[in-house]
Amino acid sequence: MGGVTSSMAAKFAFFPPNPPSYKVVVDESSGKLTITGVPKKDNVNADVLSIPTKRGNEVIALYVKNPLAKLTLLYSHGNAADLGQMYELFVDLSLHLCVNLMGYDYSGYGQSSGKPSEQNTYADIEATYRFLEENYGTKEEDVILYGQSVGSGPTLDLATRLRRLRAVVLHSPILSGLRVIYPVKKTYWFDIYKNIEKIPLVVCPVLVIHGTADDVVDFSHGKKLWEKCKEKYEPLWLKGGSHCNLEIYPEYIKHLKKFMSAIEKVSHLKIESGHHSQHSQEQSEPPRNSVDHREKPRLSMDLRQKSWSSVDQREKSRLSVDQREKSRLNVDQREKSRASIDCKEKSRSSTDRREKSREGVDLPDKARTSTDQPDKARNSIDRFGNMMRSVAFCNIDCLKHTVSEA
């Protein structure tokens, strides 16, 4: 099944530029990788990298540095694009958003080795993220994942596994691969990039950007994903925007800047509130060995504590006396009840003696009535038998009726 899924994905999901728009060469003086075939820009500090993945491929990545950056944007580009075509946008985003930006080519794209597949893209983004952590010291809470079009697939897959991620940006995202072709309501096993099932698992703020006139990935995809977000940020629905031109709208960069500012402020507020609570706690707890005026209130508190303790002791002694009194009363009540019972027993015994004397006179009558008792017993047994037979018949009839109804 995995092979079938990969082959389907390769047919309708991946269109790497052929030939690639750039080349990678080794600089003879520095021994570092450089990228050729891209527009030259002044004052651009960028590293060209070759990153191994756990699936045995080597992906080419571009890390654009901003000396004022506090956050890092990990960008997964769309279909039919590679690093050469994205180079200028990466440099501009790094500059205007004041972020470090890491972009990479999927396996089989640009100068990356291997073939494009869903599972390879998951391995590609994971390897790139780990490279940021291990080689640039980037922290998870300082990373923003940015996924465009098909790049929303690996972006959301990684986002579900990072619990301290700063934020996610989805640019013209897809609900799933199959839903781009046909608006199915059910997710099938052979579908790819099941973003509709992964988006509820993302716990960080999510910004969704989509054009209302997108003729490749319908606007409904972005809207549905935004509705399913846990941490929704104000979306950007660009009226008249298509699939590949959202960057030219002034609202695009303006809204991204607003988003970056918002998530930075949230982080600062958390840090400041943490310091404030710690500072207030330190102020409320002065040093124990200090001998200043704050010790006097503490002494008065101790005196009050002692007075309270003495009151408590008196209350306890009073309660113990009350308990002893209650126990004495209970004993007296039991004695009285026992005496009344003895009186009743005496009166009952005298009554029994009088009854016995009377019975001696009535013996002939009792002998006569004793002969009538077998007939009464026989009649009561007959009545009881008739009752049991009628009950048994009633239960059987009711059971038959119930079964016939069932």
Give exposure, 291-318, as e/b (b: 16+ Cβ within 10 Å): eeeeeeeeeeeeeeeeeeeeeeeeeeee
Q: Rounded to the nearest 10 degrees, what angle do helices 295-361 and 363-370 cross at?
A: 90
Out of 105, 214, 218, 221, the active site residue is: 214
For the question of residue 214 being annotated catalytic, the response is: yes
Cβ atoms of 184 and 160 within 8 Å: the answer is: no
Cβ atoms of 246 and 211 within 8 Å: the answer is: yes
> How far apart, in whole angstroms, are the C-alpha atoms of residue 306 and residue 155?
65
For the question of residue 77 being annotated catalytic, the response is: no
Out of 77, 171, 210, 243, the active site residue is: 243
Cβ atoms of 272 and 111 within 8 Å: the answer is: no
CA 110 to chain centre: 38
Out of 76, 112, 149, 176, the active site residue is: 149
Strands 58-64 and 99-104: antiparallel
The answer for residues whose C-beta is within 8 angstroms of residue 179's C-beta and 6 or more apart is: 191, 196, 221
Per-residue tokens: 167? 């934020």
Element (H, E) at 102: strand 99-104
> How far apart, in whole angstroms, are the C-alpha atoms of residue 220 and residue 201?
20
For the question of residue 243 being annotated catalytic, the response is: yes
Q: Active-site residues: which are they?
A: 149, 214, 243
